Amino acid sequence: MNLIEIRQQLHKIPELGFQEFKTQAYLLNMIATLPQHTLEVVTWRTGIVVKVMGYASEKKIGWRTDIDGLPITENTGVSFASEHEGYMHACGHDCHMTIALGLLKKLVAEQPKHDTILYFQPAEENPGGAEPMLAWLKAERPDLVPDVIFAAHVAPEYPVGTIATKPGLLFANTSELYIDITSVGGHAAFPHQTKDASVIAANVLLQLQTIVARNMNPLDSAVVTIGKMTSGTVQNVISGAARLEGTIRTTTPEAMTRIKARIEAICAGIATGFECDIEIDYGSSYYEVNNTPLYAEKILAFAERFSQTTSYECPAAMTGEDFGYFLKEIPGALFWTGANTAYGLHHDKMCPDEALLDVNADFVHAFLQTL
């Protein structure tokens, strides 16, 4: 089966974090079709670790792919659209898995010098699979912890063959943010008997906007975004409950701590002022993706030499990636790879150019041999 067919089959079965049962079964089946004499395959929850034994190994080289989808209803119109209503591979993880399978096929066909370990990691979007997967590896299978590790992420805005990364910080620290307001609802005509949760939520939303504008050094980038706000039930009832859902992004862990302290102070002040109850939950948080300079530079230099790619030293972005937890403990780097699609990540029409699959399987295979 060629890589385009594999990607299209994976695209049909997106599943949420730690529920990637069909995806895991599909990947295990594909891995089972390969000659097994150099392979060791182990599973961890819905993830898979595949070790390819090197012929004269002096180190363990890791390649990580994420495997989960998003709760988005697909609107691409492609013939191989998601068969799971309400779910979509809108962040390119179907492409990431296919590149990893293409890489594995090459490693089996041509045994590498060094042990090469592929990590099919669940739950990148939510709630985060990298941190618990690495903890399990360290506790139960330290022999499968790599000495160096790499990963790629599709980049809609770049042409296929563009390999973009940078030394140091590439992606932000992230934290989800959920704020629940509980107050007193009632009849729309008797506001004096209520404490309107919609008005309180509006105050919280506006005061949150002061954090980046007034509490952060303008030379430090940060984001506080509320992406979803819900309140009330019907037009003539004053709401007694509201919920704000968002995300925080920072370029340092210290800035994340500062922002959270400000959110808590603002919510405490509003709760006192409006006589209501406000609960904050930070959901899942990811550590920054901080590339080891040596390896980011190696990727860029190799992409410049390799016949199918060009290199671009890109700026950091406020996206998040739980691959940051691997890089917190293990040297390595993540790079963007061009996907040439008009729609951005997490868009319901995001549709990567499948030419990227073979280019990246070839590129990653050739790059890992240089280490």
Ligand X SMILES: CC(=O)N[C@@H](CCC[C@H](N)C(=O)O)C(=O)O
Residue 14, classified by CB atoms within 10 Å of its CB into exposed (0-12), middle (13-18) or buried (19+), is buried
Query: Min. distance of Cβ 79 from ligand X in angstroms?
Result: 26
Query: Min. distance of Cβ 346 from ligand X in angstroms?
Result: 6
CB contact at 8 A, 118 and 276: no
Is 11 marked within a binding site? no
Nearest to 243 by CA among 210, 209, 276: 276
Give residues 274-313 in contact with ligand X (rule: CB under 6 A).
284, 286
CB contact at 8 A, 360 and 87: no
Give residues 31-90 in contact with ligand X (rule: CB under 6 A).
none
Which residue number, 65 or 116, has a Cβ lying nearer to ligand X? 65
Which residue number, 62 or 320, has a Cβ lying nearer to ligand X? 320
Is 192 marked within a binding site? no
Query: Min. distance of Cβ 68 from ligand X in angstroms?
Result: 11
Task: Establish whether 66 is a catalytic residue.
Answer: yes
Residues 6+ apart with CB under 8 A from 7: 94, 95, 97, 98, 354, 357
Residues 170-209, one symbol each (x = binds ligand X by CB under 6 A, - = not), give ----x-x---------------------------------
Query: Min. distance of Cβ 184 from ligand X in angstroms?
Result: 31
Task: Give the active site residue among 20, 74, 124, 125.
Answer: 125
Residues 6+ apart with CB under 8 A from 191: 238
Q: Is 126 in the site for ligand X (CB under 6 A)?
A: yes
Omega into 127 within 30° of 0, i.e. cis? yes
Task: Establish whether 125 is a catalytic residue.
Answer: yes
Structure tokens, 12: 């049909």
Query: Min. distance of Cβ 174 from ligand X in angstroms?
Result: 4
DSSP 8-state assignment for residue 160: T
Q: Is 341 in the site for ligand X (CB under 6 A)?
A: no
CB contact at 8 A, 323 and 334: yes
Q: Is 320 in the site for ligand X (CB under 6 A)?
A: yes
Residue range at the interface with ligand X (CB under 6 A); choices 8-16, 236-244, 316-324, 329-337: 316-324
Q: What is the DSSP string of 180-207?
A: EEE-B-EETT-GGG-B-HHHHHHHHHHH
Helix (H), strand (E) at residue 333? strand 332-338
Output the known binding site.
91, 93, 125, 153, 346
Annotated catalytic residues are 66, 125
Binding residues (CB under 6 A) for ligand X: these are: 91, 125-126, 153, 174, 176, 247, 284, 286, 319-321, 345
